[in-house]
Amino acid sequence: MNYRIAGIAALSACFIISAASAKEIPIGEAQEKSGLRVGAVYLQPVEIDAPELMRDPKESDFHVEADITAAKDNAWGIEEGLWFPGLVVRYELTRLDDKKTVSGDLVPDIATDGFAYCNNIKLPGAGGAGKYKLTLTVAPPGDNKKQRIARHVDKENGVPEWFKPFSLDYEFTYAGTGKKGAY
């Protein structure tokens, strides 16, 4: 077997696969608050297997993802860097030049890069390229009426109460998503 040809073929396959993945564009810098690390990215609108959970990608400008993980030394014993489950996450997107806004919920989803809180979004106001502010409001699992996470409260294994809801702002310039992948 010609190992050189096999190696080149394997490397080529890696490049083809990575080229087919959607490109994530960071929205500001990740921030830490209340034991969580919260980062945000956008990419082209995506299709999911439960379309009733998200805005139709054909009627959306982009897909936003809030990557929310446990920060180091969080009070609940969740390993640093692991996805933080059960949160209630809302977004508000404001176009800075005309102050038009859109808002809604981000829902849990999973892709090849792991879990995130996401939705497809239609840009507010005139839409298109420009400066925007994304506000993410994060509420704890105890506020999740659809699927609460029980907390141990005994002396041996108990963890403290959940954090209070908080909001974080991210300013960014939207210049489009480009087009990658099959969608």
Give residue-wise pLDDT tens across range 40-71: 999 999 999 999 999 999 999 999 999 999 99
More reliable by pLDDT, 55 or 4:
55
Q: Is residue 5 pLDDT above 70, yes or no?
A: no
Instruction: Give the distance, in angstroms, between the CA of residue 50 and the centroid of all CA atoms in the same chain.
Output: 17
**Looking at this protein, which amino acid is placed at residue 28?**
G
Q: According to the 3-state scheme, what is the secondary structure of 98-126?
A: CCCEEEEEEEEEEECCEEEEEEEECCCCC
| CATH of region 24-174 | 2.60.40.2480
Q: How confident is the model at residue 160 (pLDDT cuts 50, 70, 90)?
A: very high
Q: How far apart are alpha carbons 123 and 21 in whole angstroms?
A: 23
**Looking at this protein, which amino acid is placed at residue 182?**
A
Q: Is residue 39 pLDDT above 80, yes or no?
A: yes
Q: Is 99 exposed, middle or buried (0-12, 13-18, 19+ CB in 10 A)?
A: exposed
Q: Would you list the domain boundaries of the chain?
A: 24-174
pLDDT for res 94: 97
Q: How far apart are alpha carbons 46 and 104 in whole angstroms?
A: 17
Regarding pTM above 0.75, the answer is yes
